[in-house]
Structure formats: structure tokens, C-alpha cells
A and B are shown apart, each in its own frame.
Chain A
Amino acid sequence: MNRYFRELSVAGALLLVLAVMAIFAPGFFQPQPLLSLATREAPTLVVACGMALVIIGRQIDISVGSQFAVCSVCAGLLAAQNVPTALVALAAVTLGAGLGAINGLLVAGLRLPSIVVTLATMVTWREALRWQRQGAFVNLPDSLQWLGLSQSAGQWTLVGLAVALLAVLAYVTRHISAGRLVYAVGTDAEAARLAGIRPQVVTFGTFVLLGTLTGLAAMMNVVQSPQVDPKSGTGLELKAIAAVVVGGVAISGGRGRLWGVFAGLLLLACVAPALTHLHVEAYWEKAIQGAIILLAVVADGVRSRKSNR
């Protein structure tokens, strides 16, 4: 019980919110709007999973929003040239992996602090895109939307894909040695090195994985609309990091579970539509999300103090 306390408390908070909605705004639970909202959040979940691994490995990547935008626009431009959808997806994922590898090389190879490196790449990619696109949308061919499936089949596919990825990654991180290396490096890189692990390789790997997932997430978002906004992904890094922190991953590395991240993301994602359904002023949205994050961080702080004593 105690081992899972942090994850369970997030799940409890989520259930509480859903209970409140069931009593005060039962209209929240309509299947089609809920499926649409889940589809809108699916790409964020994919990014948050990658982010969780980077943070468990004691690093951070704040450039994911810009990576997301670059991958989205490139996918859009390729699709507009009538490149087959499968190749477009492959290109987006590969590009994401490449952008992740640049961060990984700078952080793991040159041993630079990840917050500074990714701050720099965040600004660079975003401004390069602004210069290249001048804010103009990319118009996509009709065949790309929902991967050519019907709308509800497309929505289920995207949600299913995100949840399946989560399940696979959750299993891998806990039960396969490659996943456990990330925890080892995040807990104590020096001890991991003495135990024969190469921490730099592990760190590089987590950045590449996050980039790859970001590229995939970009593709999952591009197929939801017939136009790509070059500003897309703005603020994505905050949403992903918030979900990770609220979900019980320690920002100091080495601890946390992807199931917790899932619950954290759902909790945060519920806030905005819940307020809309309860007819509460939008001013409260960011304040409530902020309070949730603060509560999570405080809970972590109190807990680590207790365990240190």
C-alpha cells in the first residue's frame, strides 16, 4: 500500500473529480465528446511517457514543444506533396529521433546541463520555424485525416495507440533490464557506472526515445485536422512535465511509474473541460492546474524529508 501511495493518491484525486462531475454536471459523461477529448490528449500522453523516462534518468527536456512543431510542419509539408501516409509518419518519427539525438549528444556527450541545452534548442527550433513559415498554416490533403479511416475509427486508433504505448513502456521500464538502467542512472549515476553501466549511453538513449515519441505524437496530432498550425506544441513541455510530476515521478530522478503519469495527465486534462461544464470562469483553469502541481511537489518534498530522517 505504502509503495503505491503516491500513484494511488493521484488516482483518488481523479476519481474525486469524476465523482464531482457525475453529481454536478452529468453531461460531462457523453461518449462522443469524451472520446474527442481523449483523442486530443493522446499525443500529450505519448510525449509525457518519454518525458517521464528522461526525468527518471535525472534529466529534463523542455524543447519537446518545439520538436513537436518542427515534426508537425515537416510531416504536413511532405503530406502536401502527396507522399504516402506511412512514409510521412516514418519521416516525422525519424526527424523526432534526430532532434532528440541532438539534445542527447549535447547533454550526454558534452556533459552539459540538460535544462540549458534544451532551452537553447527549444528557442532555436521555434524561431527557425517562425522564420521559415511566417506563421502560415500548412494545408493537408483530405486523405491524411484520421489516417484515411472514418472519424470514430481514427479516434479509437489514436487513443488505443497511445494507451498501448503506455502499457509497453510501463512494462519495459519495470521488468526489462534496459528500462531498469534508467532508474539506476537516475538514482545515482556514479554508482551505476561502478556497477558497469554506461550512464552517458543511457541518458542519450532516453533523449532519443523522447524525440521519437514526440515525432510520433506530432503525427498523431497532424492527422486530427486538415491544417497544421506552425505554433502547435507551444506549452507542450509544460503539460508533459506537469503530468510527470503530478503522476509521482521525482524530479530529482530515480523514482516514479508510468501508470502514475497516466493518472496525472488525466487529472490535469480534466480540469479545463470540467470547468467549462461547471460554468466556472476560465480564469480558474491555470490556477487550479498550478495548485495541483504545487500540491504534488509539496507531497514529494515532505515524503523525501521523512524518508531521509
Chain B
Amino acid sequence: MKKLLPLFLTAALLLAGCGKSPEASAGATQASGGAKKITVALLPKSKGNAYFISCKAGAEKAAKALGVDLLFDGPTDTDPAKQNEIVENWITLGVDVIAAACDNKEGISTALRKAQSKGIKVITYDADALPDARAFFVNQATPEGIGYGLMDEAARLLNGEGEFAIILATLTAGNQQEWLRHIKNRLAEKYPKMTLVATRPCDDLKDKAQSEATALMGANANLKLIMNICSPAVPGAAEAVKQAGKAGKVKVIGLGLPSENRRYVKEGVTDSIILWKTEDLGALTVEAAVALVKGTLKAGDKSFQSSAMGEFEIKGDNLLLGKPFVFNKDNIDQFNF
């Protein structure tokens, strides 16, 4: 009996396969008949990441609305070599357009150029490739947008006056320095009654951010707000404020994922989380990709008219998603990434 088991299993599989085949062939005829459906291939940095899963949700909605096929594949872990492999597969498959979030700028650009040489359109989103390897970059947030967004939100919460402190990842990281510069510019030009009393690094660690926030509150009796510009620092600072019994007295804002901060936002410890809407990023990427294939989006355009989300600005070859989004108590439950 035992020997027969594999036989049964094989038979069962064959039957199951037969059962499916008519459907599949019907699908194939449909696709080949009439106008060819556009296929958009969306490449995330890693496909298990909540951030990109949320991008994908938006991309699927847009693909459905536009009547195009969407392929979504990426490395399980961030892996530049695996990204190249997937792009190569898509070239063989002959997709119409590839939209890539690049893990390694230089690494993937060769594969993307190859795709372009085979007549496949290429755009990037979230993280750019080299400029000659793609037509457009869907830019989710400019450093200025992030810096101004954080500073304006801090000023709104404090009514434009009071002391605040910043916790950042490290004092050397390039993006952190650039955001810091824009925050300071905005502070100097618009909010004369606000004072930045300290800037502390947390080495991108939640635990260290918690210690730093504790020390900051001890050292600055009039501290009204802690602004965190790296994502682990937001829950770290929130926990410190909560433990010090200063929820509401010392406000917490920062750049981060809603899922990591939901608890503190609901408890009223963290006031707002600033990030772009990742679903919109996915949707805009697909819309732009389709427009590129259809020829309605081309180099030199100054704006892009989306069918579902209105008009977006184009700066050079960057399609801008716009101002960052503010997550707070009222809306955070609508977002699950």
C-alpha cells in the first residue's frame, strides 16, 4: 500500500492539473486576442517588507483601474544580485515596463540598461538607479519636503514657541545631515520663538534612543518636544516619555512606520508620525509606468496628470509624490504597514 501512495498522489496532481488547464488556456486566448494588455513589472527591494507590501497594494489598485497586468517580484531579503536576476527574467519574459526600487544603484543599472536596449521602458521608485538607466524616478519625498514637514508639524503642535530637541541616527549619515539642515533652515526663517536645545545621536537603535530621550528630559526642564529623524528613535523616545510620566507635556514626533508607533499614538504619547503614503507611491509608480508605455509621459514634461490622484509635479526627471503625509490618532488605523 505504501508503495502505491506516490502513484495516487501523482494521479491526483495530474487530475488537478487537468482541471485547471481549460481556464488557463482561455486566459491565454483572451490576452492574445484584441489589443495586447500592458504588463507592468514592479520590483521591490525585498518582497517580505511591510513597506513594499503596502506599495504593492496601491500598485494593484492602480493596475486594476487601468486594466493592465501587474507582476510583483523581488528578493526575499534585500539582495542586489537577486534583483538583477529578476530583471533578467523579466527581459526574457518580454514585459512592457519595469518599475524598480533599487537596492544598489550601480549594481542594477547594467541590467536596467539592457532592458531599455530591448525596448522595455524603465522607471524607478523609492530608491533611484543611475539616471541613464531609467526614464523617470518617482521620488517619494525630497529632503526639503521631509525637513519642512517635520519642522512645520513641530511648530503646529507647540503653537510656534518653546524648546525642542532632535534625536537622529548618527551625526555623520548623509541623509540625516541633509534633513537636519532643512529643519534648521525652516526654524531660522519661520519660527523665531522656537529653540533647538540639543541634537543627540542614537546609532539607529531604539534602546539608545530611549536612554538619550531620558537624559534630554532630565537636562532640559523646559523641553516641550522631541523630534526623531530616524525610525527606531520614535518608539524609543516615546517609551522614555511615557516612563517619565511626561506624556502630553513632552510631545513626540518623527519619521517612522505607523506599525511601529501605533501603540504610542493611540496612548497619546506620540503625536504624529510623518511619512509618505506608501500606497500612493505604488499607485503613482504604476500610473507613470503605463503612461510611459503609452507615450503620454515623456522626457521634458513638467507635470503628470494621474487618472485617480490628480496632478503631480515633475522636477527634471523626478516625478514628485508631493508633501509627506502626517499620521496621527485619527487616521493611523487606516494604515497597516
Contacts and interface: CB of A to CB of B under 8 A. Distances in A.
Interface of A: 25, 27-28, 30, 32-34, 36-37, 40, 130-131, 134-137, 139, 151, 221, 224-227, 229, 231-232, 234-235, 272-273, 276-277, 279, 282-283
Interface residues of B, number: 35
Contacts of A30: 218
Contacts of B49: 134-135
A27 B206 contact: no
A283 B46 CA distance: 34
Most chain B beta-carbon neighbours within 10 Å: one of A137, A229, A272: A229
Interface string B189-207: 0000000011111011111
Nearest to A33: B218
Contacts of B60: none
A134 B77 contact: yes
A36 B48 contact: no
Contacts of B307: none
B245 to A, nearest CB: 8
B50 interface: yes
Contact of A232 (B48, B206, B239): B206
**What 7 pairs between A and B have smallest CB-CB spacing?**
A33-B218, A229-B206, A273-B215, A277-B219, A276-B215, A276-B219, A40-B211
Nearest to A154: B243
B235 interface: yes
22 contacts: A30-B218, A33-B215, A37-B215, A40-B211, A130-B77, A131-B77, A134-B48, A135-B49, A137-B235, A225-B206, A225-B235, A225-B236, A227-B206, A227-B260, A231-B206, A234-B203, A272-B211, A273-B211, A276-B198, A279-B197, A279-B198, A282-B200
Most buried by A among B46, B49, B214, B236: B214
B212 interface: yes
A273 B199 contact: no
Contacts of B13: none
A37 B211 CA distance: 7
A273 B208 CA distance: 12
B260 A137 contact: yes
Contacts of A282: 171, 198-201
A289 B199 CA distance: 18
Contacts of A135: 49
A276 B243 CA distance: 19
A76 to B, nearest CB: 12
B101 interface: no
A221 B214 contact: no
A226 B263 contact: yes
B283 interface: no
Question: Chain B interface mostly helix, strand, loop or mixed?
Answer: helix
Interface of B: 46, 48-50, 77, 171, 197-201, 203-207, 210-212, 214-219, 221, 232, 235-236, 239-240, 243-244, 260, 263
B244 to A, nearest CB: 7
Contacts of A226: 239, 263
Contacts of A273: 211, 214-215, 218-219
Nearest to B232: A229
Contacts of A232: 205-207
Contacts of B263: 139, 226-227
A225 B260 contact: no
Given A131-B77, A137-B260, A279-B219, A225 B205 contact: no
A40 B206 contact: no
Given A36-B214, A227-B263, 9 more contacts: A40-B207, A139-B263, A231-B232, A235-B203, A273-B218, A276-B198, A276-B215, A277-B219, A279-B198
A169 to B, nearest CB: 24
A225 B244 contact: no
Contact of A277 (B207, B218, B235): B218
B327 to A, nearest CB: 16
A247 B232 CA distance: 31
A231 B235 CA distance: 14
A37 B214 contact: yes
Nearest to B263: A226
Contacts of A40: 207, 210-211, 214
A28 B171 CA distance: 24
Nearest to B239: A225
B304 to A, nearest CB: 32
Contacts of B217: 33
Contacts of A235: 203, 205
Given A40-B210, A136-B50, A226-B263, A32 B198 contact: no
Contacts of A221: 207
A245 B203 CA distance: 23
A208 to B, nearest CB: 25
A131 B133 CA distance: 29
A235 to B, nearest CB: 7
Given A33-B244, A37-B211, A276 B216 contact: yes
